[in-house]
Amino acid sequence: MGFPKEFIWGAATAAYQVEGAWNEGGRGLSIWDAFCHQSGHIFEGHTADTACDHYHRFREDVQLMKQLGIRAYRFSISWPRILPNGTGSVNEAGIRFYEELADELLQNGITPYATLYHWDYPYALHQRGGWLNPESPAWFAAYTRVVAQRLGGKIKHFFTLNEPQCFIGLGYENGEHAPGLHCSRKDCLQMAHHVLLAHGRAVQVLRDVIPGVQVGYAPTGSSFYPATDAPEDVEAARKATFDVPERWTFSISWWSDPVLLGQYPEAGVRMFGQDMPQIGKQDLQLISQPLDFYGQNIYNSAPVRADGNGGYVCVPRPVGYARTAFDWPVTPQSLYWEPKFLYERYRTPIVITENGMSCHDAVSLDGQVHDPNRVDFLQRYLRELRRGIEEGTDVRGYFHWSLMDNFEWTRGYGERFGLIYVDFATQKRTPKDSFYAYQRVISENGKTL
């Protein structure tokens, strides 16, 4: 069987990680600008002020996308580039940038998939309480309406939010990411609820404004695979994947059950007790607006087995297990088991919105970038994804992370995830061996993996 004929092969980036031009074209300040410009947060003091200069070089980058053969490009829209103060007056130069990007993509046969929010929260709204402010869902809805009205004629596919697990868990719980806060569990849970309300309101706005729009959501989360194929271990992995652990911010079910099932997981509700957020009578109905597809960012999973008492225990990884340059484990079975479990639970078509690896890439003496580990990673993971599809998991697309090396948040330019090597001093782009490997996968629709 292999991949479906209409399978969406794509690549992904995010505005803050590639655009640069942080103070050009009328763009407002984001929480990440403020965070990066304060010493001590980012690897070697790097900033995203220039990043990949995609703001000025997007036409060149679209030509590389066309050469790669991707059918879709997932990018994010910078909220402060559209609304410099988060609300109020619209920045026409910001709108024009995304109009021209969408036009360039469409003229080259590439479908734009836009993410409304990929972490670059307007600093002006942060000063008003950010996601903790009860007005934050309305702010996001108003921003979404501007995007839909001004760009909906060109962009028909949207994701609302990218990885709320990260921007709440890392930004407001442990302070590793912008804005670098350490909030109470109660406040973080309230922010999470506001985030989900913002998602629901954005879905409503997109459907209200754009005829025929296709809408999804792009979370991530801790996932697990069975240590063996024994039925009890498979059930243990399923249970672990949808559990609500003490580190709840990376729970899949806490962020996805309300969206897809219209309810919070009972185990979490019991555990949080008085820390539970204030939930209005219509909130869960609003949050669970129907979606056309369910995105998931998947990089790795952990092995578990049944504990003999209806639960699960984690299994140690083998000595010397494969790791990426980021020190993440290489677990190809992630792209088999996690989509399988997600589709069984949510019965909504799946899109892999991010998957890839950081490697120790460098330009070799021959002027090329040889990244055999990424080529191998791509083949192994996609084989597992194909196996799941052949067994009935409804996966509609795959977006490789990332199109090009970029600003990797607190890791700065110290990690390279791209299919295209970027020399950040000169902005020269060099397609890597993995670029050509993925090009072959796309041209053959994955038949010879």
Name the helix (H) or strand (E) containing 54: helix 54-68
Q: Please name the residues in contact with 35: beta carbons below 8 A apart, sequence gap of 6 or more.
A: 41, 42, 177, 178, 179, 180
Q: Which residue in the list 163, 173, 384, 415 is annotated as catalytic? A: 163
CB atoms within 10 A of CB 108: 15
Is 408 annotated to bind a ligand? Reply is: yes
Three-class secondary structure of residue 159 per DSSP: strand
Rounded distance, CA 96 to CA 392, Å?
42
Asked if 166 contacts 177 with a C-beta cutoff of 8 angstroms, the reply is: yes
Q: Which of 149, 58, 55, 64 is nearest to 104 (CA)?
A: 58
Residue with tokens 């700065």: 412
Residue with tokens 């009578």: 281
Q: Does the annotation count 338 as an active-site position? A: no
> Per the annotation, does 373 bind a ligand?
no
Contact 216, 293 (CB under 8 A): yes
For helices 252-260 and 334-346, give the axis angle rounded to 10 degrees.
40
DSSP E strand boundaries for 307-419 = 312-314, 350-354, 395-401
Measure Cα distances from 220 to 72, 206, 252, 255 in Å. 20, 22, 7, 9
Q: Is 354 a catalytic residue?
A: yes
Return d(Cα 31, Cα 228) in angstroms, integer.
44
Scan for tokens 């108003």, then name that residue: 142
DSSP assignment string, 133-144: STTHHHHHHHHH
Measured in whole angstroms, the distance separating CA 341 from the mean position of its chain's CA atoms is: 19
123 among annotated binding-site residues? no
Is 268 in contact with 253 (CB distance < 8 Å)?
yes
- In three-state secondary structure terms, 8 is strand
Q: Can you tell me the distance from the alpha carbon of 109 to that of 112, in angstroms, rounded to the nearest whole number?
A: 10
Q: Residue 299, annotated ligand binder?
A: yes
User: And the tokens for 308?
Assistant: 């003999």
328 annotated to bind ligand: no
Burial class (CB in 10 A: 0-12, 13-18, 19+), 315: middle
Catalytic residue among 19, 354, 384, 415: 354
Q: Apex CA 417: angle with CA 244 and CA 327, to 5°?
A: 55
The beta strands (E) that lie in 128-179 are given as: 157-162
Q: Is the peptide bond prior to 76 cis by the omega test (within 30 degrees of 0)?
A: no
Report which residue type is found at 255.
Answer: W
Give the residue ranges of the annotated binding site for substrate: 17, 118, 162, 299, 401, 408-409
Active site residues: 163, 354
Give the residue ranges of the annotated binding site: 17, 118, 162, 299, 401, 408-409
